[in-house]
Amino acid sequence: MDFSNFLLMQHEIGLIAVFLILFFCDVVGSKDKKWFHPLACVLFAGLTVVSFFLKPQGEAFGGMFVATEMTGFMKSLLNVATFMVFLQTYKWLNSKEVRDKRFEYFTITLITLLGMYMMISAGNFMMLYIGMEMASLPLATLAAFNKHQQKSAEAGVKFVMISALSSAVMLFGLSFLYGATGTFYFTDMAAAIAASPIVLVGLVFFFGGLGFKMSLVPFHLWTADVYEGAPTSVTAYLSVVSKGAAAFALLFALFKVFGNIQGIWQGIVWGLSVVTITLGNLFALRQSDIKRFFAFSSISQAGYIVLGIIANNPMGITATVFYVLVYVFSNLAAFAVISAVENENGGDTSIAAFNGLSKSNPKLALLMMLAVFSLGGIPFFAGFFSKFFIFMSAASAGFYVLVFIALLNTVISLYYYLMIVKAMYINKPEDQSVGTFRTDTYSRISMVICFAGILAVGIVSYIYTYINGLAFI
């Protein structure tokens, strides 16, 4: 074996190193392990910072693993999101119900992240599939982490069943593609692939498999129930990190493998984008639970993500990656506030709990307002620029009707996002409304990072320019 192949897996090796250190500390450490959460956050913060300086480039294991500057940046972006999720878990992981399972939580999360790394760097569909399974199955455990709560246990069961179904659907589709081309390697399949009924069937099932992971309509039916039942930090992880990894995997697969038959899959993406954005928005209007609200919001956001993919050019890659970057900071900011309110309000996640939040906790209300304004794409917030670039990339490929429909849906999304602002700043507090409280230090650090990210990404043009440079490599 050529061990030099492992030199290209610097991000993966770093992640495994963090896991081994945590494992050793768990074995030899004191029984109460109050220090375990700070240690995990410090170690992962170090990995996150270092990851931005790791720039391996090349292919390993016969082309199954591919490392580029773009894949490295995507992994680093997932690290940033995961780190903020870790910060937000402090109070929950120190609660009586789960304090003895802190190591298990971090272990499972790191395993899922390793699977997502594999998905991003896959140069072979079998590597992509294995990475997806490594990322998906442990997530069911995380969804059911509060096993003493019925909704959490139910969320875990639903997720594992849907995950197994989506994996089977995807594997079935890959078998058709293999039958048509005789290979699973991206480069070889791209050279051999041609428009045919068997390729069309394979593409549909392939979309179905990743569609479940991204919560694209009609593969979204699990999303609201799992988001509501899972612990809030796990919901944030599913909404941002898992969705981002699946989006990157779909982006690379379509760009590298199916570029020659884009006329086939662009029609599929067109329909998925319209239906996903529209239904996600319409169902979000009807929600009274804020976790279900953001579940349907995330479905709509997935529609915007595939809107960028449809362009099938470097401009589309840049727009999609930039959109996910903005989405990370905006959505995690919202979930940081939701988690803080939930912990102080006996687990209540109704929108009514946010009534009058601007009076009791003005800083939290401000952060939530910035988050929903960014998610809604209100001008001069980071989300406005991300949507603008997404629309421009689709328009550059001639999809003007699609862009128009997406713009109309943006108006609808502004309405339901403003419902949250109305609850915080206009509605009077009710019995279930949360009183004045102080968040823990770790959550405040996460909120500060999200706040800075929402502002910086929208203002600093260098970030978009840097991503654009990577897209053309």
In order along its 473 residues, the chain shows pLDDT tens digits of 556 677 788 888 999 999 898 888 877 766 666 778 888 899 999 999 998 888 888 888 888 888 888 888 899 999 999 999 999 888 888 877 777 777 888 889 999 999 999 989 888 888 888 888 888 888 888 888 776 777 777 777 888 888 888 888 888 888 998 888 888 888 888 888 887 888 888 888 888 888 888 888 888 778 888 888 888 888 888 888 888 888 888 888 888 888 778 778 888 888 888 889 998 888 888 888 888 888 888 888 888 888 888 887 788 888 888 898 999 999 999 999 888 888 877 777 788 888 888 888 888 889 999 999 988 888 878 888 888 889 988 888 888 898 899 888 888 888 888 888 888 888 887 666 666 778 888 889 999 999 988 888 877 778 888 888 876 55
Alpha carbons 20 and 13: distance in angstroms, whole number: 10
Comparing C-alpha atoms, which of 97, 90, 96, 229 is closest to residue 159? 229
Alpha carbons 407 and 391: distance in angstroms, whole number: 8
Alpha carbons 133 and 113: distance in angstroms, whole number: 11
Residue 354 C-alpha from the chain's centroid: 25
Please tell me the predicted confidence (pLDDT) of residue 356: 83
Q: Are 339 and 233 in contact (CB under 8 A)?
A: yes
- Burial readout 175-190 (b: 16 or more C-beta within 10 A, e: otherwise): ebbeebbebbbbeebb
- Helix-, strand-, coil-residue percentages of the chain, each rounded to 5: 80, 0, 20
Please tell me the predicted confidence (pLDDT) of residue 1: 54
Q: What are the phi and psi torsion angles at 240 (to 5°)?
A: -110, -60
pTM recorded for the entire structure: 0.91
Q: Are 99 and 90 in contact (CB under 8 A)?
A: no
Alpha carbons 295 and 120: distance in angstroms, whole number: 24
Q: Beta 65-67 vs 58-60: how paired, if at all?
A: antiparallel
Please tell me the predicted confidence (pLDDT) of residue 189: 85
Comparing C-alpha atoms, which of 107, 134, 131, 9 is closest to residue 66? 9
CA dihedral of 331, 221, 283, 402, whole degrees rounded to 10 = 80
Q: Are 293 and 213 in contact (CB under 8 A)?
A: no
Please tell me the predicted confidence (pLDDT) of residue 433: 64
Please tell me the predicted confidence (pLDDT) of residue 31: 63
Task: Give the residue carrying structure tokens 């995507």.
Answer: 74
